[in-house]
Chain A
Amino acid sequence: DGGITQSPKYLFRKEGQNVTLSCEQNLNHDAMYWYRQDPGQGLRLIYYSQIVNDFQKGDIAEGYSVSREKKESFPLTVTSAQKNPTAFYLCASSITREQETQYFGPGTRLLVL
């Protein structure tokens, strides 16, 4: 089955801790994205990557970091600098940045202990 997987489904973060959210795709897509979803708000772009070893900040990149060492993988690290990390995190991919349709993973819900 082709698609995007995210893990874990739920993640708990302690004060001052960095946590990493996994995103893997086997769709052979060049572009990948990380969004944050909060109640009552639209999806907000954290980072995106158009190609391996390249990534760009989105609208709310502060307190987050990413890497794109492999085409299939785009992990997101939520650092201790992100003071309000509780949210639903969604990873998506598209064939290229210019291709309109985005395919989403099932999401990771991050909660702060």
Chain B
Amino acid sequence: SQKIEQNSEALNIQEGKTATLTCNYTNYSPAYLQWYRQDPGRGPVFLLLIRENEKEKRKERLKVTFDTTLKQSLFHITASQPADSATYLCALAGDSNYQLIWGAGTKLIIKP
């Protein structure tokens, strides 16, 4: 069955450093992959989308890579700030239907 894995353990990073989150998937050939941010008790907010034929996407301090051979996406936040602390979700969609399959998310904690 299709499966998406994100690190279930919280990631603690010192302010100013680069945070890197991982999203691995199996039994799936996604047309694209998205990253969302979710704060406690709130709905997810869209951050970035990367397509299967793209290797890398950037937006301000955010960078996403997509390796379809490794079946992995990496999400980087450079010059991290305490305000970046949140749970980050990855979601994949196939090209035969548009249903998103979601990872459970990784909690990121940026320490001052």
A42, B45: Cβ atoms closer than 8 Å: no
Chain B residues, CB < 8 A from A35: 102
- In the assembled complex, the CB of A92 is this many whole angstroms from the nearest CB of chain B, namely 7
Say if the beta carbon of B61 comes within 8 Å of chain A. no
- In the assembled complex, the CB of A41 is this many whole angstroms from the nearest CB of chain B, namely 5
Chain A residues, CB < 8 A from B102: 35, 42-44
Which B residue's beta carbon lies closest to that of A103? B46
Say if the beta carbon of B108 comes within 8 Å of chain A. no
A90, B104: Cβ atoms closer than 8 Å: no
How far is it, in angstroms, between the C-alpha of A22 and the C-alpha of B4 when the chains are bound?
Answer: 30
Say if the beta carbon of A98 comes within 8 Å of chain B. yes
List residues 32-56 of chain B with CB under 8 A from any CB of chain A. 32, 34, 41-46, 49
Which B residue's beta carbon lies closest to that of A58? B99
Chain A interface helix/strand/loop/mixed: loop
Size of A's binding interface in residues, CB under 8 A: 24
- In the assembled complex, the CB of A10 is this many whole angstroms from the nearest CB of chain B, namely 10
- In the assembled complex, the CB of A43 is this many whole angstroms from the nearest CB of chain B, namely 4
Chain A residues, CB < 8 A from B91: 42-43
B99, A40: Cβ atoms closer than 8 Å: no
A100, B34: Cβ atoms closer than 8 Å: yes
- In the assembled complex, the CB of B80 is this many whole angstroms from the nearest CB of chain A, namely 24
A92, B99: Cβ atoms closer than 8 Å: no
- In the assembled complex, the CB of B1 is this many whole angstroms from the nearest CB of chain A, namely 11
Say if the beta carbon of A45 comes within 8 Å of chain B. yes
- In the assembled complex, the CB of B75 is this many whole angstroms from the nearest CB of chain A, namely 15
Chain A residues, CB < 8 A from B32: 100
Measuring CB to CB, which residues of chain B are less than 8 angstroms from any residue of chain A? 4, 8, 32, 34, 41-46, 49, 89, 91, 93, 98-105
